[in-house]
């Protein structure tokens, strides 16, 4: 069938982003990736993520340039009444307002949901905060590292004899951004049905807690408190990372009955699949340390690349633990468009991850990298017919 490419999925949707750092801007980036017109508002000096990490030649971090791709960059001093009026005017022309300030801050500036929805009832107002908009902790400042801790993720991350550890990326911020996008899309769909906007309340702590699998039902039913288990998956086995002969690490998931049998055959140990200690998942979990030792004894005789190919041919889920250098040169990531490049207004090339998910017809496309503070304010005001009525 001939492929017909249409406009991106969110073409025609306007989003006003009032956020900084990670969670709000990442949600805005995802919406921009899907084709929404995203207007990002920063302070006149620029937001703090511009200073985080390694700096590009223009003085903004590489992270900022990739993290805020595809957006129009505006700058206002929201402590000034005329700037607030300008942002209100922009909000009236948008479908979505996305923010990650502490609850109440935008209300203090006259940009809260009630004030904006009064004359724009179709507005979808999406707020990301540490603890949500109500409850005993609502007014506390909240960051992703705290949310990961209070939401239960860090308690189970690490090895039993070591302190809780951080996952190597900002999981709490990113998962809350994903929930913000889900909420935005759901509210847009509901508005198609009834014409009404909504307030979408996303808490970082709740976003993290939602990922804790069976922890709550197992605790309530049996008093089990899940503890740190290192790289071993405590509910199914074998599932771990195993060292190879060339000093690399291979993740292997052999925890289905058929898969475990194929793994044993690939190891040249088919009898293990019939051993009473490993005959089913419950037995394998109970004897996981012994089973992992057997598997690693074998993997240490194999080069990682050859082992990866062998397990793929055997139908066993496996893959090497990859650094960013490995990923950047990987043929599959490249074939899927995940090693991408965009330019800012100075022509500076910025490497950036590709778009997830892929669409067959309504294709999303990368456009520009984030660039200079205030780059697009005048153009956007003019485009929205606001230049004559706003001053900063």
Residue 375 located in a structural domain: yes
pLDDT at 234: 85
Residues 204 and 105 both lie in one domain: yes
Residues 117 and 146 both lie in one domain: yes
pLDDT at 179: 98
The pair phi, psi for residue 240, each rounded to 5°, is: -165, 180
Active-site option among 33, 95, 173, 201? 173
Q: Which residue has the tokens 């292997």?
A: 252
The pair phi, psi for residue 264, each rounded to 5°, is: -60, -40
Residue 230 located in a structural domain: no
Residue 236 located in a structural domain: no
Residues 294 and 172 both lie in one domain: no
Structure tokens at 262: 């194929």
114 Cβ contact list (under 8 Å, min separation 6) = 107
* Structural domain ending residue among the three candidates 320, 349, 369: 320
Q: Which residue has the tokens 């007014």?
A: 139
pLDDT at 363: 87
* Structural domain ending residue among the three candidates 296, 320, 344: 320
Residue 272: give its domain's CATH number.
3.30.1540.10
Residue 243 located in a structural domain: no
Q: Are 17 and 23 in contact (CB under 8 A)?
A: no
Q: Which residue has the tokens 């179709």?
A: 122
Quick one: three-class SS letters along the chain?
CCCCCCCCCCCCCEEEEECCCCHHHHHHHHHHHCCCEEEEEECCCCCHHHHCCCECCCCCEHHHHHHCCCEEEEECCCCCHHHHHHHHHHHHCCCEEEECCCCCHHHHCCCCHHHHHCCCCCCEEEEEECCCCCCCCCCCCCCHHHHHHHCCCHHHCCCCCCCCCCCCCCHHHHHHHHHHHHHHHHHHHHHHHHCCCEEEEEEHHHHHHCCCCCHHHHHHHHCCCCCCCCCCCCCCCCEEEEECCCCCEEEEECCCHHHHHHHHHHCCCHHHHHCHHHCCHHHHHHCHHHHHHHHHHHHCCCCHHHHHHHHHHHCCCEEECCCHHHHHCCHHHHHCCCEEEEECCCCCEEEEECCCCCCCCCCCCCCECCCCCCCCHHHHHHHCCCHHHCCC
334 Cβ contact list (under 8 Å, min separation 6) = none
pLDDT at 1: 43
Distance, in Å, from the CA atom of 2 to the CA atom of 361, rounded to the nearest integer, reads 10
Query: How close are the terminal C-alpha atoms of the chain, in Å?
Result: 53
Q: Are 11 and 364 in contact (CB under 8 A)?
A: no
Q: Going residue by residue through the chain, which has 392 residues, state the pLDDT in tens, using 9 for 90 and above.
A: 455 568 999 999 999 999 899 999 999 999 999 999 999 999 999 999 999 999 999 999 999 999 999 999 999 999 999 999 999 999 999 999 999 999 999 999 999 999 999 999 999 999 999 999 999 999 999 999 999 999 999 999 999 999 999 999 999 999 999 999 999 999 999 999 999 999 999 999 999 999 999 999 999 999 999 999 999 988 899 999 999 999 999 999 999 999 999 999 999 999 999 999 999 999 999 999 999 999 999 999 999 999 999 999 999 999 999 999 999 999 999 999 999 999 999 999 999 999 999 999 998 899 999 999 999 999 999 999 987 555 55
pLDDT at 5: 66
Distance, in Å, from the CA atom of 197 to the CA atom of 95, rounded to the nearest integer, reads 9
Q: Which residue has the tokens 């039913």?
A: 221
Residue 224 located in a structural domain: no
Please tell me the pTM assigned to this model: 0.94
Residues 35 and 147 both lie in one domain: yes
Residue 359: give its domain's CATH number.
3.40.50.10540
Other CB atoms within 10 A of residue 349 CB: 10
Parallel/antiparallel/unpaired status of strands 71-75 and 124-129: unpaired
173 is catalytic: yes
Residues 140 and 204 both lie in one domain: yes
Residues 198 and 285 both lie in one domain: no
244 Cβ contact list (under 8 Å, min separation 6) = 250, 299, 300, 302, 303, 304, 307
Give the chain's domain count: 2
Residues 148 and 190 both lie in one domain: yes
Residues 51 and 134 both lie in one domain: yes
Residue 95 located in a structural domain: yes
Residues 49 and 181 both lie in one domain: yes
* Structural domain ending residue among the three candidates 264, 291, 320: 320
CA torsion through residues 53, 58, 59, 63, sign: negative
Residues 44 and 188 both lie in one domain: yes
Peptide bond into 134 cis (omega under 30): no
Domain range spanning residue 138?
14-211+333-389
Residue 7 located in a structural domain: no
Quick one: three-class SS letters along 282-326?
HHHHHCHHHHHHHHHHHHCCCCHHHHHHHHHHHCCCEEECCCHHH
Buried b (16+ CB within 10 A) or exposed e, 76-107: bebeeeebbbbbbebbeebbbbbbbbebeebe
Residue 352 located in a structural domain: yes
């Amino acid at each position: 069938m001939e492929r017909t490419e249409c406009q991106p999925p969110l073409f025609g949707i306007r989003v006003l982003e009032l956020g900084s750092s990670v969670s709000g801007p990442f949600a805005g980036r995802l919406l921009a990736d899907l084709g929404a017109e995203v207007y990002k508002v920063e302070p006149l000096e620029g937001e703090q993520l511009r200073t985080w990490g390694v700096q590009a030649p223009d003085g903004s971090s590489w992270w900022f340039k990739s993290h805020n791709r595809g957006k129009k960059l505006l700058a206002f001093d929201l402590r000034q009444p005329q700037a607030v009026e300008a942002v209100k005017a922009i909000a009236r022309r948008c479908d979505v307002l996305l923010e990650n300030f502490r609850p109440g801050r935008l209300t203090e500036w006259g940009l809260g949901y009630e004030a904006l929805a009064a004359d724009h009832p179709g507005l979808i107002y999406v707020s990301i905060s540490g603890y949500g908009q109500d409850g005993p902790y609502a007014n506390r400042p909240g960051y992703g590292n705290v949310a990961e801790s209070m939401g239960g993720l860090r308690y189970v991350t690490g090895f039993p004899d070591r302190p809780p550890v951080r996952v190597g990326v900002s999981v709490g911020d990113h998962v809350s951004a994903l929930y913000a996008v889900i909420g935005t899309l759901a509210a847009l769909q509901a508005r198609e049905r009834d014409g009404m906007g909504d307030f979408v309340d996303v808490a970082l702590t709740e976003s993290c807690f939602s990922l804790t699998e069976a922890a709550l039902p197992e605790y309530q039913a049996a008093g089990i408190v899940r503890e740190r288990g290192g790289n071993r998956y405590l509910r199914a086995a074998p599932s771990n990372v195993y060292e190879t002969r060339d000093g690399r690490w291979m993740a292997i998931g052999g925890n289905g009955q058929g898969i475990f049998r194929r793994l044993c055959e690939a190891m040249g140990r088919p009898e293990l699949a019939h051993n009473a200690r490993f005959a089913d998942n419950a037995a394998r979990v109970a004897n996981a340390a012994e089973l992992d030792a057997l598997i690693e004894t074998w993997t240490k005789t194999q080069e990682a690349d050859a082992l990866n190919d062998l397990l793929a041919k055997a139908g066993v889920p496996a893959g090497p633990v990859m650094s960013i250098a490995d990923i950047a040169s990987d043929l599959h990531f490249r074939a899927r468009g995940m090693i991408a490049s965009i330019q800012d207004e100075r022509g500076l090339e910025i490497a950036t991850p590709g778009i997830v998910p892929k669409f067959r017809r309504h294709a999303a496309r990368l456009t520009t990298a984030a660039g200079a503070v205030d780059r697009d304010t005048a153009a956007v005001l003019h485009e929205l017919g606001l230049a004559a009525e706003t001053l900063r």
